[in-house]
Structure 1
Amino acid sequence: MLLHPGRTIMKRAGGYGVAVLLVLGTVLIGCGEASTGLTIEEERIVAGVDLNQLFAPPTPQERQQVLDDWAGQDVAARDMQAVAQASFRLGNLPVTMTIWHHTVNGQRHVGAVVVPDTLIEQVPVLVWLHGGEEGVRLETDVWPLADSLNLARFVLVIPAFRGETLAYQGLLFPTEGTPDPWKGDVADALALLNVVVQQVPAADTGRIAVLGIDRGATTALLMAVRDARIRVAIGVAGLTDFFGDFMQQVIEEALLGTVRPVPGLQAFTDRVLVPLREGQLSIAEARLALLRRSPVHFADLLPVGQWHHSQNDPFIPASEAERLKAAGPAWFQVFLYEEAGYELQDLPNALARIRMLLDELEAGAL
């Protein structure tokens, strides 16, 4: 057989996945352990999808295409209406909460906005992005952290994403639309933030932070990449790179019909992976869908921030945090914890670190 260094032609025989390597040039003698210098790519066809093409590193052109798409996306809030209001104490301070309806891309969206009652000047804004897939429950998701993070000093912005409900004292406020994890979540949260900018004079739009848990953590980083008004981004135990080893394995399993209990993954599978498998979505379109949900590939655009992740997280491995740490700018800190768990309260000193960063934001130091 003849070999010409640097030139390989791969031919696949029939539909059986047999690969025939034709090499042209120099004579090959023997078949011992000496290296030929060749790298032969292993075929990865799963459910009719070429995973080598799907997970090839994003190109600069693809990244720019996503940035251009984001820049042209309409996240303006329309038809704003305050539909409910309640006054109570958050921590030790009196606050007033308003439930807002507004439309995003023609669909009704719901969110809560909590404003301190005792104001002598504008206060910073904190967008709280929930985890899981069951919507947001204010009494269990947000209020327990009121004291540890001193939440009553902020205008709190708490969206329920499309297709979900916002729950408060047994009342359910539903949103319209079909769940669109991460991509749609970002649009919904940015639109609610725009409601606050227009309707809440107490909000200091020069001091905006976002804080998210698991699914909301990814959303927080993507929001900060897209909107320069956001000065601080904080995430806890979320996904960072849909092209990484973990998500490659997860997506391969989903294409074969097994969806892991990762928040947002079932809806993402229904929206992206099933159409890809059935030939209704091209590889090129699916790659952009992955990239839109991968903040690692836009890490240079992140503001000051923190990421918190257990090295023994039972759902999302710490490799997601490590990928962010490798790609992130110096001003974005990644903290890994030996303790098992995925709740913010499970990670020692995480709340104290977050509070210190929020203190800096409040003081105007960021």
Structure 2
Amino acid sequence: MVLGRLPLLALLTGVFAGSVMLLAGCSESPPVTECVPAIDPDCETPDPGEDEVVAGVNLTDLFETPTAPESDAALAIGVSATDGEPTVTELRAAADGSRQFLLAYDFEGERIVTALARVPQGVGATTRLPTVLVLTDGTDGASEADLLTAAGFGFLVDNAVQVVMAYRGEPLVVGGDAARSQFEPDPYRADVGDVRAILGVIDRVPRTDPSRLGLVGVGRGGTVALLAAVRGASVSAVVALGAPTDLFADSFRGEVRSRLLGTTPANPYPALDALAAPAFALRDGTLDLEGARLALTRLSPARLRPNDRLPAILALHAAGDPVVGEDQLTSLDAALTSSAARPRITEIVDDVTREGLMANGTVQGRIAAFLAAEL
């Protein structure tokens, strides 16, 4: 597949991979390299053949490209839907006349995860509609403002059911009131099971059509959407914006290097500590190298044989994204093959910021057109 660029309306073909400079360090006893030339003027750049070791972690070994057996081993570790007692409660109608429903999963009296469903106005209507689950970025929870209600989203506003999920341990704000999960946050790992649980009861919401399900995720949510689809979620299409897809790519290695050196990147990956946890477990001796690499592979959709497992894909990335490197989209693109029956579209969007992707009218139109064709 060829990674495209989307300068808003015009699509120019070609591959654009952002180059990331790897900061390599050194010490008195090669091949261990723990200083960084850009920071320490007394540090000498090591020979290219030396391993890069930071805070006792051999980054060269940790981030070596996963083998096919390693990908198979990661896939062999199943991810089941979260177990719990589901409830669906109708709330007061929204100001625009749409019906609202609260979906929740409880376990032994404690709330695991919550989601808000929006059903377009027309209380008496019974026609089933395409259904989209929206997955947000970051760790600040979700609200009705995360629903795709801008005019640019076209049919999604009035002719689709939308559901937005708050991750476990985070609040779902509706009408100024917050419903908070009582479970500890577990970004990415628990998110996939929670998504599968919500999808499993989504047909309890009026007018939803389980045969026409789509996922739309931003950042962390894009990764979770891709992982859920790879893990067998029954969805027809996935839209991922600015999503980490490959924890073996150079941009993520740079993030881990910074954290091991005790600094926080100026623009860290969403829920970075959760993604970097295997490297710290390796440093602390609670995981061996094999276990740490397995953990990274499990959270890397681009390394989990996605071409065989993913449905139709629209993956967009803002050019020069300062949070999630463009090499993340490049990795996903390299792992996918597009066809008329199962399109896989990967594009870098010029002249828009990461934060502005979802608010951009052209991007909104692309998402709406893609989902209209696939759901």
Shorter-chain TM range is: 0.7 to 0.9
Q: Per the alignment, do residues 62 and 151 of structure 1 end up closer, same or farther by CA in structure 2, a change over 3 Å counting?
A: farther
CA distance, structure 2, for counterparts of residue 88 and residue 286 of structure 1? 46
Could you tell me which runs of 5 or more consecutive residues in structure 1 were left unpaired when the two chains were aligned.
Answer: 1-14, 20-38
Measure how far apart 1:75 and its partner are. 0.6
Higher strand fraction (1 or 2): 1
> Is this contact kept in 2: 1:240–1:324, CA < 8 A?
yes
- What is the correspondence of 1:1-366 to structure 2 with a 5 Å cutoff? 17-18=29-30, 41-70=49-78, 73-82=79-88, 85-90=91-96, 94-103=97-106, 108-118=112-122, 119-139=125-145, 141-142=146-147, 144-145=149-150, 148-149=153-154, 150-197=156-203, 199-200=204-205, 202-260=207-265, 261-269=268-276, 271-298=277-304, 299-300=306-307, 301-330=309-338, 331-342=343-354, 343-345=356-358, 347=360, 349-362=362-375
Q: Percent identity?
A: 27
Higher relative contact order (CA 8 A, sep 6+): 2
Counterpart contact for 2:57–2:279, Cα < 8 Å: no
The letter of the residue matching 2:357 is L
Distance 1:151 1:348, change over 3 A: closer
TM-score by length of 2: 0.78
User: Could you tell me how far 1:272 is from its partner in structure 2?
Assistant: 3.4
Tell me how far apart the structure 1 counterparts of residues 30 and 303 of structure 2 sit (CA, whole Å). Answer: 35
Deviation of the 1:280 alpha carbon = 1.6
Worse overlay, 210-219 or 55-64: 55-64
Measure, in 2, the Cα distance between the counterparts of 1:107 and 1:285: 31
Q: Distance in 1 between matches of 2:253 and 2:143?
A: 32
Q: Report the secondary structure of 2:185's partner residue.
A: coil
Aligned length: 321
Cα offsets for 1:142-172 (capped at 9, x unmatched): 2553652433322222111111111122211
2:12 aligns to what? Answer: none
Q: Is the 8 A contact 2:85 2:107 kept in 1?
A: no
DSSP-derived class of the 2:92 partner: strand
Q: Would the alpha carbon gap of residues 151 and 288 (structure 1) be closer, same or farther in structure 2, given more than 3 Å must change?
A: farther
Residue 104 and residue 329 in structure 1: after superposition, are their counterparts in 2 closer, same or farther (change >3 A)?
farther
Q: Does the 8 Å contact 2:242/2:318 carry over to 1?
A: yes
Structure 2: which 5+ residue stretches go unaligned? Answer: 1-26, 32-46
Residues 255-289 of structure 1: per-residue CA shift (max 9 Å, x gap): 222233321113434x4343332112222222122
When the two chains are superposed, the root-mean-square deviation of aligned CA atoms in Å is 2.5
**Whole-angstrom CA distance in 1 between matches of 2:164 and 2:238:** 15
Q: Tell me the SS of whatever aligns to 1:289.
A: helix
The C-alpha deviation readout for 1:109-150, integer Å capped at 9, x for no partner, is 2111222353332111101001121011222x2255365243
Which structure: larger Rg? 1
Cα distance between partner residues in 1 of 2:210 and 2:148? 23
Residue 53 of structure 1: how far off its partner (Å)? 1.9
CA distance in 2, matches of 1:143, 1:333: 21
Aligned-partner Cα distance in 2 for 1:207–1:104: 29
Give, in angstroms, the shift of residue 351 of structure 1: 1.3
Distance 2:287 2:61 in 1: 14
- Measured in 1, the distance between the counterparts of 2:208 and 2:152 equals 20
Separation in structure 2 between the aligned mates of residue 240 and residue 309 of structure 1, nearest angstrom = 12
* Cα separation, partners in 2 of 1:104 and 1:243, compared to 1, 3 Å: farther
Distance 1:215 1:127 in 2: 14
SS of equivalent residue, structure 2 residue 93: strand
SS at match of 1:191: helix
Q: Is 2:319–2:351's contact at 8 Å kept on the other side of the alignment?
A: yes
Q: Is the 8 A contact 1:302 1:332 kept in 2?
A: no
Over residues 221-257 of structure 1, what are the superposed CA-to-partner deviations in whole Å (9 max), with x where a residue is unaligned? Answer: 1112122511101011111110011111111111222
**Aligned pair in 2 of structure 1 residues 251, 18: CA closer, same or farther (>3 Å)?**
closer
Give the distance between the partners of 1:120 and 1:100, measured in 2 at CA. Answer: 20
Change beyond 3 A, Cα 1:123–1:41: same
Note if contact 2:317-2:348 (Cα within 8 Å) is conserved in structure 1.
Answer: yes
